[in-house]
Amino acid sequence: MVRLARVRCGSSLLLVLWAIMLMSLAVIGLIAHLSRGLDESIYAEKEFRARLLLQSARTLSTHPDLERGDPLLRQRVSAVSSYEVTITTEGANLAINQIAANPVQRQFARRLLEKWGMESRQAETLTDSLADWLDADDLPRAHGAERDYYLPFGHRNHPFNKPLGNINDVLLVRGAEELARVRPNWRDYFTRYGDGTIDIHRASPEILEALFDVTPSEISRFLSVRRGPDGIPDTVDDPRFTAISEVRSLLDVPTSKYAVVSALLTLDHPIKRTDCLARAGDLKRRLTIIKGPGIDFIQED
């Protein structure tokens, strides 16, 4: 009887242990489920707040009285939420789709590539190949590439012979592997929406140096005036030039170099770009709007 009682006691203990283990697993599962639900709720709240801020920024950016540098374009809504709006034009960068039709654009592109560290022959190869990729004919330029070049690599549909539909298509062009090596952020300097002119109010120092084929010191006087009295770019005290002749008097550029590219300069670029960025905690949402003659591009991510 004593032995039987011990067996029953041992069986009961095992049952209790199994029950405790099952309850523990159930509790762990419940906690995991609640944790996932909480994480999803937090993410949904961040997503809602970020998109709300993004739409607020978009609405604000369309106000006719707001100009770049206005404090309202960059606001911290709370300790973890903020938005910022950048208003510029597509004339701040090199118009990649224009280099086939315009030899001056091609020279501009080549100088920019050389300033990034590409050898002269490499820069010529890429710019000529880009021009061949864009134009409608099958006649390769001196250092370019048409269908016969790409066929041995199995690319029967290259080149596309039309304007780039995606900026990443540049990587398909002969010589682009060197571009990616010397300048990983090359996309920040190209636009496929530009009309070929350079916005003198928006172009970066690097773009201006390549455009005029000069050193940074030769651009410095113009930049110091363009930044306004506070010396900070994109603020409300930045002056607005009213004539290209004002720009010419400030640019420390040789007359011969200025004459070559002067036709590419503009004071009021027709293609406007608005970039909105909203933050909610560690979540970011972006909205890009590009508008101009024949262009109405909106992308949100």
What six digits make up the tokens of 186? 């090359």
Asked if 59 and 72 touch (Cβ cutoff 8 Å), the reply is no
Structure confidence at residue 279 (pLDDT) = 92
Please name each of the domains of the chain with its CATH number: 97-187 (1.10.40.60)
Regarding beta strands 190-191 and 94-95, do their DSSP bridges make them parallel or antiparallel, or are they unpaired? parallel
pTM: 0.80
Name the stretches of the chain with pLDDT < 70: 1-40
Residues written for the chain = 301
The confidence score (pLDDT) of residue 4 equals 46
